[in-house]
Each structure stands twice: as C-alpha cells, then as structure tokens.
Amino acid sequence: MNTWHPTTNFIEKTNLYRLMQKYGFNRYDNFYKWSITNHDDFWDATVKALDIQFKNPYSTVLDASNIEQPVWLKNAQMNIVDSCFKAAPDQPAIIYQKENETKSKSLSYAELNQYINRIANALKENDLQKGDTIGIDMAMNIEAVAIYLAGIKAGLQVVTVADSFSPVEIKIRFDIAPPKLIFTQDYLLRSGKKLPLYDKILEAGAQLIVIIPTSDNSEIRIRRQDLFWDEFLSNQTQFISEAMAPLDTMTILFSSGTTGSPKAIPWNHTTAIKSAADGYYHHDIQQGDVVAWPTNLGWMMGPWLIFATLINNGTIALFEGSPMSDVFGQFIQDVQVNMLGVVPSIVRAWKNTGVMEAFDWSSIKCFSSTGESSNPNEMEYLMQLVDNKPIIEYCGGTEIGGGYVTSTLIQTNIPSTFSTPALGSEFVIVNEEGNLSDKGEVFLVPPAMGLSFKLLNRDHHQVYYKDTPKIEGKLLRRHGDFLVKMENGYYRVMGRTDDSMNLGGIKVSSLQIEELVNSHLAVTESAAIAVSPLEGGPAQLVIYLVPNSIVDKELIQHELQKLIKQKLNPLFKIHDMIIIDKLPRTASNKIMRRILRQDYQKQMQDEV
C-alpha cells in the first residue's frame, strides 16, 4: 500500500510544528499528551494561536467542577464572527461558482463583512431580537454563508437544515427549533435540473420566508407575506456584533441517533473554536489557503468549513452543483484549491469514471475525508490524482464540533487510517466485556472544547453518559463508533456499534428508515442495517423485510426506494433487500441488528 512521508522541510512549515516548537515540544506524542493533561494551558495556547477576539477577556480557560457541564472561557464576552475577519480586507474570503457557469467570482473579506452587515441590519429591521431563531435551508453559496454569519453576529440562533431533505423531514426539524424567519432559494440547480426548494419549505409549513432567486428572470410566485431577497436586504453596511457569552447558542444542527427523530444539537461560540483548532492543527489551514469541501449548512461540515477557513485567514471555495462533474474538477484546478475535503462515496465515483484525471490539481497540499468509512484502494487512487499527497482522515460528529480521531501532516500518512486522537481530545476503546481493548466501542473522555452539553429534545445525560462504563476512574461519554487500533498504533473506524448509520456521508437512524418501510401496506416489519463492502469503504443500506403476503422482491424494493426518496432523502439507496420470515429479537423484544449484520457479512464472504 502506498504511504506518504513528510519531509523535514514540509514539517517545519506546518502550523502544528511551529506551535510545538513555541511551547518546547520536539515529539508529537508529548505534545498530544500535554493537550489532554493540561487542558487550561493547551486551550489557552490554541485560543491565542487562532487570535480569537474577545470583547471582555476570560478569567479562566476551564471550570470543570461539573465534568458533564464544563464552563469554557469563563466570564468572557465575545462574538465568534469577529474572529472570522482578521485577514487583510482585500484578501478573497470566498471564491464561488455555479455549475452552469464557466467563471468563478470572488468576495473579499471587506465585501463579505459589508454583505453580512447589510443582512444583520435587515434582521433587526424585521424585528428579530437577540436570542431569536432564524432558519436556513438552501445550497451552500455566498448568500448562505453571509446569512449564517449575519444571524450569529446579530446574536440570533441559526437553525440549519440540509437542502436534500423531504418536506416531512424539514418540518420535523423546524418544529423542534421553530424559526421566526426562514431563508431559502426558489430552486436548486443540480446537473442541469431545477429542483423546487421554496415549494418544499411551503409544504413544511413555514410561516415567513425570504427567497433568494437563482436567476434574474425567476418566474416563481410567492405568498403575500414572503419576501424576495432584494426586498429584505438593508442598505446599512455598518453593524457592531452583539456581545455573547462563549456558551450561548449560535447554531442548532441535527444528528440522527438510535431513535426515529433527530437530535437537536446546539453549537455555541466555543464549538467554532474547536472547528478552527482542528483546521489549524490537523488540516494545516494557513493564511491565504484556499479550502473547498462539498457540503451544506445542514451538515456540521458546512459551519466547520466556514469557521475553520475564516478564523485561520483562508479562502472558502464554494461550488454550487454536483462534485461528480468535470465542471467541479475544472473549478478546483482554476481556483487553485490547497485543501480539498471529500466524502468517500465521491471518491468512489471519481475512480469509477476517471472524470478528475484530466485536471491539474497540483496546488492541493492535502485532502481530508469524513462522513463514512473509506476504502484504502480508493483513497490511494485519490492520493495519486495529485502525485501522492496526504489524506487527513477525519472522524467526529455534530456533538463534537469536529473530530475525535484524525491525522496530521507531520506523521506518515497511510490510506484509510487515522494516526492520532484529535489534539485536546481523548478516547478509549472498550470491548463487549467492558474492558479496555484495541478493538471495540469508542467512548470519549471529557472535558474537551466542542463537546455538547445539552440537547433541545433529549436528556443529554441519558443519551451520552447514563450507564457508561467506569474505567480508570474516568467518566466516559458514549459515542458509538467501532474502532480498531492497529499494531502500528494507527486506527481504523469500522462503522457503528449502535443503530445509526452513515449513508453517503449522511447520518441516519435505522428507526427512521424502518418506520418508513413499515408504512408500506405489504410490510409487517423490517430492519435496516448498514454493511461495509468486504474490501472496506462506504456503508451500503440493506433492508431485511418481513412481508404480510407473498411479494415480488424487485417490485417492492422499487416502491420502497421511491418512498425513501420522497419522504426521507433521495441520496439513500437500497443496496439489497432480504425477504425473511421473522426478525431476530432479544428477550425484551428489541431487534438484533448486530446479528443481521453478521449474517449478511458471512453471506458476502461465502459468495467470494
């Protein structure tokens, strides 16, 4: 297998190496140990390295008297948006292109700041007050970034929903965190198609909507109470950010767990510091670096991209369209992207089609991969697209604000493996017997900046801490990934141990899919599992089905796929369907999905 080894010259230019030297560390493992044993010193050093801006300074970095509810940056006043505008005013903040265009356009830091101020003033002019909630459901474009930062700058809570969701799923999320005002587009442009988005938001029951037209000649008809973008915008370009406590909610994101409804996870101003710290240490985002990551504000990588790039004085490269197209490849080449983030499913498509082989991506310093387990052969292919450049494997969660296990650019890089826990983060691996192991379930060790401490629609303690094992006197926090530590000390993530799954980089619970499948008249009950291919890589959706009569497998699979597309997410594809007489259950009547996964994996092995 191909590996990447950093040269001494390369290492010495990284953010991580320079900060290690500043604090007297020559070995990475010693620096990592310092980051988890001296929380105050490490995070104080990190906040200073990131040049986080404060209206009033903090008295202490961390008060961990209540380990489940730690207080970070005690007594400070701040607004994290202020820390996004330290770069030179004329430096590009965003480079943007739509898939039906041939040239990109850019917005400088000064221009983006003025745009944000116009939106923030408009929010105030429309009677939105500090602490109110607005919603965003649209493509990841200049307007989305500006609206998001303007909401936070104005002291609002911004609830974000992915543009791929069905009206039912959109409504579920906006019902949990009701916004006074929702921003959206008339249409989404994807692969030459115009997909209605305003109509989906209407169907979800939105009360008041601001619509951004996708073209000057948009013919969409809107309700009397709704506003077009130009009507909404203020002409006032000056705005002083609202002073906030570091732990005040700024964003509400959603992550599926093991129950049918999504968890509503608040991000606060320190969560953004965690995102920026991972960008600084592990992705080596430096002044002027161009960073691209196909994502959306409804997924944690959308806000992550904004904060990790802007706080580190970089440039966000946004492409509105499909990352599978040659237009995307041309965009990455033309704007000279330095750090490109991917989901493994995208890399698989690139490898199968060869579509990106025509482009010169030599400007890329590193890739990053997240969202689902990757395949070593496909990641090696990605490395070779740019003459052997490293891939920062990055695994975490919305409730972490970034990663808990990842890689660095000062260590040897091996495809589909993680070289280190994230700096400032600690975890243990526990086997089924409840003992420390090199193979088993991941439990996080608090405190760590970025870790959530509340949920809007669940009991946070019950979800993350109740009945977790006690090892070496440490309080452990449930996470649910299945991790293997290899002989060389590196790690591989092998999927989930609970009933959630990652499909195409999107986290969804088994119950969400099963409830939909069970609504079909021909279905008695079902079980949804995610199974990785034998060679590794993105998980595939397999449904075990108990019908109430004789059924045509191909026909019912087609009907269920259509149902999932309409009611849940068009990106979720049924890989296989197994007709079964009854589902395996525990004594307490819970479906044993683990047994189904094992049986299916054995079946795959037998077929080889």
**Domain presence at residue 52:** no
Q: What is the DSSP letter of 84?
A: G
In angstroms, the first-to-last Cα distance of the chain is 22
Q: Does an H or E element contain 23, and which?
A: none
347, 376, 397 — which closes off a domain?
A: 397
Q: Report cis status (omega within 30 of 0) of the bond before 446.
A: no
Query: Which range, of 123-137, 245-259, 492-506, averages the lowest pLDDT?
Result: 492-506
CA distances from 354 to 347, 357, 359 (A): 10, 6, 11
Within-domain flag for 374: yes
Q: Does pLDDT of 110 surpass 70?
A: yes
Locate 574 and state its tokens.
């049924």
Average pLDDT over residues 302-321: 97
Last residue of a domain, one of 362, 397, 432: 397
For residue 336, being part of any structural domain is answered with yes
Distance (Å, whole) CA 584 – CA 486:
32
Residue 418 lies in a domain: no
**Could you tell me if residue 583 is inside a domain?**
yes
Phi, psi of 468 (to 5 degrees): -75, 150
Whole-prediction pTM? 0.88
DSSP 243: P
Alpha carbons 405 and 294: distance in angstroms, whole number: 21
Q: On the CB side of 411, how many CA atoms lie within 13 Å of its CA?
A: 25
Domain assignment present for residue 16? The answer is: no
Signed CA dihedral, 465, 466, 470, 473: sign only: positive
Clarify whether residues 307 and 164 are in a common domain: yes
**pLDDT score of 217:** 65
205/327 same-domain check: yes
Please provide the average confidence, as pLDDT, over all residues in the chain: 93
Task: State the average pLDDT over residues 425-431.
Answer: 95
CA distance 7 to 411: 10
Domain residues for the domain of 575 are: 501-607
Nearest residue to 208 (alpha-carbon basis) of 242, 174, 235, 169: 174
* Nearest Cα residue to 304 out of 279, 335, 268: 279
CB-based contact 368:379 (threshold 8 Å): no
Asked if pLDDT for residue 267 goes beyond 60, the answer is yes
- What DSSP character marks residue 268? E
Average the pLDDT over each of 1-15, 73-87, 192-206, 250-264 and give the range with the smallest value.
Answer: 250-264
Q: pLDDT value at position 533?
A: 83
Q: Quick check: is 28 in a domain? A: no
What is the domain-level CATH number for residue 392?
3.40.50.12780
Q: Reduced to 3 states, what is the DSSP secondary structure of residue 408?
A: coil
> 139 lies in a domain?
yes
* CATH number of the domain enclosing 542: 3.30.300.30
Q: Out of 397, 413, 438, pick the residue that ends a domain.
A: 397
Number of domains in the chain: 2
Question: From CA 142, how far away is CA 127, in angstroms rounded?
Answer: 24
Which amino acid, one-letter code, is at 585?
A: R
pLDDT tens digits along 490-502: 999 877 776 677 7
Q: Do 228 and 362 reside in the same domain of the chain?
A: yes
Structure tokens at 359: 């482009």
Of 159-173, 419-433, 502-516, 560-574, least confident by mean pLDDT is 502-516
Residue with tokens 């600690």: 426
Look up tokens 């870790």; give the residue.
451
258 contacts 511 by C-beta, under 8 angstroms: yes
Which strand ranges, in their side-by-side order, compose the sheet holding 540-547? 523-531, 540-547, 574-579
pLDDT tens digits for range 536-591: 777 889 999 999 888 889 999 999 999 988 888 887 899 999 999 988 876 556 68
Contacts of 607 (CB under 8 A, 6+ apart): none
